[in-house]
Structure 1
């Protein structure tokens, strides 16, 4: 194999490894509660998408009704362009219906049994929590979100499972980040939205939760990528020189 052809093959292999899609046997579930009432939506066709049968357009039309709330929801789970990124995106519209309310509305979007991302040598993973409020109406109305990343034990009492890493509602609708150590797979990634609506109130908002490998400094990444191929190229060149001399 010529030197140029070898370098081309090595470059393509490295690029493919960096952008390979994330793999997971994850299950997406949305649980909606208002204290006494619960509705569970599941990803029946395993396409990473859950939506209510119709959009909620007002307090009497569309969505699903849980207690005194009408909810329109679209939630999706997507591997990112980089193989180490996993993201859950949720958009919500919530209305007070005028029916009895037995407690604040909580909407939990859970993606469990994640077998990625794979942390770098440092073992560090980033956790993101984001909330975007488009509109909130009604006296005393409020929306908050918490993102949680945690290990799921491989079996009962698995001592390698870790405590959940939790990010509370970001300030002023911004993003918040933290870093945690990976110890074992699989993971769970969840976002818990808490909605309090005053009489006749409504809320239109979205949230993003994600976990991905903490990036190493650019120089280290380049070095880690190039060194294995440099060694292989050096060995091949030596063999070629020996053969030429012989």
Structure 2
């Protein structure tokens, strides 16, 4: 049995350990500090000067570390209130650091699958929070598009499904609706590559979803929402895209 060595004539087999930058260490320490001291959204943090003195680093290092939190929407600051912790929203944070225009096909495909899973799974929240006013708004969205033809089909789809996310009263879930346009654009582009004769007609339309949300049961709505997306299941839409 021979043992491989890392001679100077060969490339190293193990990458050298990378030292954390000062900003990385400060960011990590701040995260621990927020957690251990029970900071909550709306709480005011120590000033940059106080943080710098307590951590033994320059204000520039503190400022750069805090800019990372600000980029993710974790903190906000103004002259009157100082630096405050904000409620974290996953999809809003993603929007700040991720440009939808440069998403690759695999990521778009996964976002489309995620959208279907979210919309079938959020039925519980919809039935818990929906009001007669919400039903009226959904019907108005449908009526406006079908009678006046205003806007594109994508605009209509986004308006309808975005409002469903809003009814859920889940801020993290509602944050995902910002990605709906890029997902719809992706789906339409993918559908254009498929023979129209191979695309089954939708089994369930928006009006049927609203009627069930108003008068049906939770399980019935989940079934209808699944059938609303059945077109993509029946023609192996996901498999086709993965094979391209």
Q: Same fold by TM (over 0.5)? A: no
More helix by share: 2
Larger relative strand fraction? 1
Larger Rg: 2
